[in-house]
A = this chain, B = another copy of it.
């Protein structure tokens, strides 16, 4: 039986810490941190994510702004909006919710964000700083996983970590952070992906598995070593008529099987997901502090 890495509780803990910081800021007569979110179109999942980010801001006392733009907005008009946000001295950070409509070049948009306000950490300058081990905005999902390992005091130095998936948002930065100097850090990291041969042979050797694949129940008990730490980044919506929402969120890890072998494991939901929002709020606090300096 394994110990649950409770992302929900840890996320609440971080939000409480930030709430206290915000109160101190306001008590000192200063404005609180301010995060804006740009949402283009009406994608259901995107609406849910952005709504949740905005509500979290409000709950801990941040100012927040939600900018909803029509699906058919031109790339130019979107870039104009971003330029305004870049130049707003009372705005500390902002995110552009992905995916964007097909007629808009995501890369151009993300690169137009002022790196000092890029609290998602997707701008090449911030990504490069992260990869070079410098202080910067770290993408929220891998940042949240590192924070979870840290708060549970899990020592990964010299251990073998296997990351499944090489996306720029999770797998790639995760592989870098786990192997950087630091605590947590210093792991020996194998990055696997769609072209990897004999994946199960590799995961079976791992002391830590981070799965960011998006295939429900992919990681089964036969693929993991006894006592491994298992981090599940998968959040696939699987249709389920029995649920009020019409779907359930299912992770990459076959939880019921794997929890019997793992030493520590994140559940889905309530694992990595809540940590992601907490780290976005943390990045916004960092942006605020830099903005005040």
Contacts and interface: CB of A to CB of B under 8 A. Distances in A.
Contact of A132 (B124, B133, B188, B192): B124
Given A179-B191, A190-B189, A129 B131 contact: no
Nearest to A190: B190
A158 to B, nearest CB: 5
A157 interface: yes
A97 interface: no
What's the number of copies of this chain in the assembled complex? 2
Nearest to A185: B195
Contact of A188 (B107, B186, B190): B190
Interface in A128-146: 128-134
A188 B168 contact: no
Contact of A131 (B131, B133, B190): B131
A150 interface: no
Contact of A128 (B125, B175, B189, B195): B125
Interface in A105-156: 107, 123-134
A100 B189 CA distance: 31
Contacts of A158: 195-197
A168 B132 contact: yes
A230 to B, nearest CB: 19
Nearest to A196: B188
Given A123-B128, A125-B124, A128-B129, A193 B179 contact: yes
Interface in A186-220: 186-193, 195-197, 202
Given A124-B126, A158-B197, 4 more contacts: A125-B128, A158-B195, A158-B196, A175-B191
